Chain A
Amino acid sequence: MRIPLGIFLVLFLGTAFRANSLHAQTGCELQLCGKVMDRESSLPLSFVEVYIEETQQGTLTDSAGNFCIKEICGSDLTLHVGLIGYETYHQSLHLDQSQQVQVRLVPVALQLDEVIIQTRKNAGTPLQSVDRLTAQALDIQQGKPLAEMLEALPGVTSLRTGSTVAKPVIHGLHSNRVLIMHHGVRLEGQQWGSEHGPEIDPFLADQVSVVYGASSVRYGSDAIGGVILIDPPALPDSARWTGLLHLLGTDNGRSGIVSGYVQGHPAFLPGLALRVQGTLKRAGNLRTPDYFLDNTGVAEWNGSVDLGYQLGQWKMEGYYSRFQTKIGILSPSHTGNLTDLELAFESPQPLGSDTVGFTYRIGRPYQQITHQLAQLRASRLLGQNANINLSYSFQNNSRNEYDKHRPLGTDPNAPEVPELSFSIQTHIVEGVYEKQLNNGWSMKTGATGMYQDNVLAGRPFIPNFVSVGGGAFVIPHWSRGNWSAEAGIRYDYKWINTARRELGRQINSIRTFQSFSGSLSGAWKPAPGVELLLVGGSAWRSPQVNELFSNGVHHGSAAYELGDSTLVPEQAINTSLQVKAGNRRWQINAQAYHHYILNFIYLEPGTTPILTVRGVFPAFYYRQTNARLAGLDLQTTFTPTDEWEFGLKGSYLYAQNLTRNEPLVLMPANRAEGWILRKWPNLVKGMSIETQLGYQEVLRQNRVPENVDFALPPSAYGLMQARITANFSLAAKPCSLTLKGENLLNTAYRDYLNRFRYFADEPGRMLTLHFLLHF
């Protein structure tokens, strides 16, 4: 047996549990079976990942190197066979009847002239419920903020600040309870505010996975709600230069996006693989059905470079990405005090919106964000059954927030100075060692260390801090026949030194946090097409500096927030059961979950308001309670013929503050969605057409605590969307053209999880034209 069983089982489960079956499958009766061997020794290779790229159906070879993929849909397919230490094998197949194939993999070490760099997709995903958006599903969503794209997955919603800033919400949990892993590195930005969107280019990924539930053991503290894995495509292993180009435009906001990459092997340095990627985006004021939203433009430019090189036994990878954006903030949302806010509530549309027209100009208030990530990764095999991965990363996050107006007495000709400026630098090192043991056992163990420095300038709100942390974990994995199981334990330590000013004096406070987390999960495949996954996990999160020390008006929300320096870490215990069953005509994917969170940190309204020179503000105190979040996500598709698909998706969430015995604030409303999809596989020669019509109903959130919010939750709403996609070839290059319409009926509505629901409606009808070219 060879190498990381854990990885492959998880990969396997990942593909098996894939839920975003937005696309119907046709002619699903064929089988592709075969055997995988080492080309040199002709010995069978087990635990080799074998999958069909187009349909994402996959499996692993057994101990005799045999595999069998059943119920294959479509006829022109690409077979992907991969194993660490071997060159990845791709083969195009025309499958009109069931076939047997034999694949001989070439060991990397034997290659002298050409070196293969492999990046494992989702390497190390734990045995947990995972749903993913494939490249194709991502393409349909492109043009939106990343968090809104993820709403295509069951159980994922987004917390928004206007239409330009969105944070992913998994099972009701968000911000610093959801981890985002970018190229295997924890994204370390300003996570604590709802107006702090993830600093990442959505066009970077060819696959985005969501790991549901507590996932601290593998990913470290804070992963209470789940983890979002954003993986750029693996570096190319063919000598050909290839690339991808997106051109996208919308009518509402008149946005234009150009994004793409080129990748290949430069001739001047054999063994080097390279990809250069970039995105440019410009958008102007969005429009609701009745008025324009003042100052809601975006200007963004992002780029990344990925380099791979084989250095002796070591696979080396260097990665750099830069994200830079300037985001306009709806100007009526910037209020001075509670009186202004109440005035805004009473106004049916934002004050002064009659005079607002379209413009690309981004004025005050706005945010200017730059996030840079540089990473070095090295991995190698250690003998036949083990491998090691080492990684060092550096992130520099800079966030400047400009208020609506310059402060009183500022020289209007002086250069712009942000009223609030954060800069956070993070170094992370990680080492992971995996070993294949006997009798279906494998083991993964690793350690990680982090150093972080956060400096704030401007309006005082949170203190500056320096933080040092580290953790170590071990995850044994077992698999036999239809059964697999995984357990894990992890220890984390965090030291944090904060500096703040109180009454003109500097005060330093040091806090330390430490905790164990554990997980236990099992998967069973009782019959073909039926899978059950039972997961129990724990995760913890140390209080953030804003929860410990914030003392000021949270701008825009007109709330005076007071931290509590005695807060203790949150500890979450999560259990979930995922069931997937189906055949070639129908599929069902259901997940039931229960999170019990001890010492859940939340804002509790105070009884005495705080008097300031700007007026009176309601006081909110960071307090701890025990909380329960339980829910059900369901997705089902029915494919009566190869041309038609009918789909239904729904989410239900119950969230309760157990100490106060009242609902938790800001939880996503229950929702359901249905769609009809029609395909014309060969309408004209070489062209296929796909149309989709969908409707989503979001109910009113009736479960809200009293006296916490300034306004009642908005009403339920329903949105209609439609899409038509043509796939064709242009000069023998595959490409596609999509026309998509969202909020087709131009419904005026507000969403409970959008902070700007106080001020303005959501955008009206949005038409998007998207051209995609692979070359």
Chain B
Amino acid sequence: MKTSKLMLVLAVCSALYACKPEDPSNEQEVITSVVLNVSSVKYAWRDIDGPGGNAPVIDQLNLKTGVNYSVTLSVLNESDSTQVKDLTSEVMNEKNDHRLCFDVSAGLPLVVTILDLDDNTRPVGLTTTWVTGQQVTGGSVTISLKHQPGVKDGTCIPGETDVEVTFPVSITD
């Protein structure tokens, strides 16, 4: 009994001197922001502290009726404000495995056409044209980045979703 008690005390004491957990580190490359450049006007979907914490900040897209917009999309890691990383070129480099999908909410008079194609002439979606119709008060566009290595078939069905963000849209005269 004495021996076991002694061992317990020894174990606890020696352990207490080394009871500082390691600082969590080694976080991976994450996408925090999606920025749309709509004919030189920038709109962003930003969640710089990542999932949880503060809620994302989402810009509303203010579009005019009957306009043909040229839109480019970029994805960024802005978790460290001193070192913003543009990950768009990574998507471009892996364009044969990626595809952006644009889902326009019902009733919103907006047609999105993908202009850029990968090496297999399948759509990528970083460069698009957006054509607006009549005036409406509410609506949204959901943009998703699908990762489709080896399974890209031109549709939005296969693969995993890396990004899925929704922008509110208004179309006015």
Contacts and interface: CB of A to CB of B under 8 A. Distances in A.
Contact of A409 (B1, B51, B87): B87
Given A409-B87, A468-B16, A552 B52 contact: yes
A419 B18 CA distance: 28
Interface stretch (B109-117, B132-140, B159-167): B159-167
Contacts of B23: 464, 499, 506
Interface string B37-52: 0000000010101111
Nearest to A433: B1
A431 B19 contact: no
Q: Is the interface of B mostly helix, strand, loop or mixed?
A: loop
A553 B30 CA distance: 14
Contacts of B67: none
Contacts of A337: 161, 164
B16 A613 contact: no
A92 to B, nearest CB: 40
B31 interface: yes
A352 interface: yes
Contacts of A390: 3-4, 7
Nearest to B162: A336
A37 B32 CA distance: 78
Contacts of A501: 24, 27
B147 A613 contact: no
A447 B161 contact: no
A427 interface: yes
Interface in B17-34: 18-34
A337 B159 CA distance: 11
Chain A interface SS verdict (over half): strand
Given A447-B5, A459-B28, A497-B21, A405 B15 contact: no
B26 A497 contact: no
Interface string A79-98: 00000000000000000000
Contacts, number: 175
Residue picked from A352, A408, A448, A612, most chain B C-beta under 10 Å: A408
B160 A468 contact: no
Given A390-B7, A430-B4, A498 B158 contact: no
Contacts of A560: 51-52
A340 interface: yes
A442 B54 CA distance: 60
A451 interface: yes
B106 interface: no
Given A455-B22, A610-B51, A614-B163, A408 B31 contact: yes
Contacts of A455: 21-22
B8 interface: yes
Nearest to A619: B52
Interface residues of B, number: 56
A453 interface: yes
B90 A611 contact: no
A427 B151 contact: no
Contacts of B56: 611-613
Contacts of B15: 427, 449, 451, 468
Nearest to B19: A466
Given A432-B4, A464-B22, A419 B28 contact: yes
Contacts of A111: none
A552 B51 contact: yes
A312 interface: no
Interface residues of A toward B: which range?
A: 35 or more
A334 interface: yes
A465 interface: yes
A328 B60 CA distance: 43
Contacts of A453: 21
Nearest to B97: A405
A185 to B, nearest CB: 15
B19 A463 contact: no
Contacts of B91: 408
Contact of A503 (B8, B49, B144, B162): B49
Contact of A499 (B24, B51, B52, B93): B24
A502 B53 contact: yes
Contact of A614 (B79, B157, B164): B164
A448 B11 CA distance: 9
A459 B28 CA distance: 6
A445 interface: yes
B11 A427 contact: yes
Contacts of A497: 19-21
A506 B24 contact: yes
A343 B157 contact: yes
A407 interface: yes
A449 B9 CA distance: 8
Contact of B7 (A335, A429, A458, A610): A429
A351 B160 CA distance: 11
Contact of B160 (A336, A502, A508, A617): A336
Nearest to B160: A336
Contact of A468 (B3, B4, B12): B12
Interface string B50-91: 111111100000000000000000000001100000010011
Interface string A425-456: 00101111100000000000111111101111
Given A335-B160, A352-B158, A612-B51, A449 B24 contact: no
B158 A351 contact: yes
A536 to B, nearest CB: 27
Given A408-B31, A408-B90, A388 B11 contact: no
B55 A470 contact: no
B94 interface: yes
5 contacts: A337-B164, A352-B158, A405-B160, A407-B28, A459-B28
Interface of B: 1, 3-5, 7-8, 11-12, 15-16, 18-34, 45, 47, 49-56, 79-80, 87, 90-91, 93-94, 144, 147, 149, 151, 157-158, 160-165
Given A447-B8, A470-B8, 12 more contacts: A351-B158, A388-B4, A419-B28, A430-B4, A447-B5, A454-B21, A459-B27, A562-B52, A612-B51, A615-B165, A616-B164, A617-B51
Closest 6 CB pairs of A and B: A431-B4, A615-B164, A336-B161, A409-B90, A336-B160, A451-B15
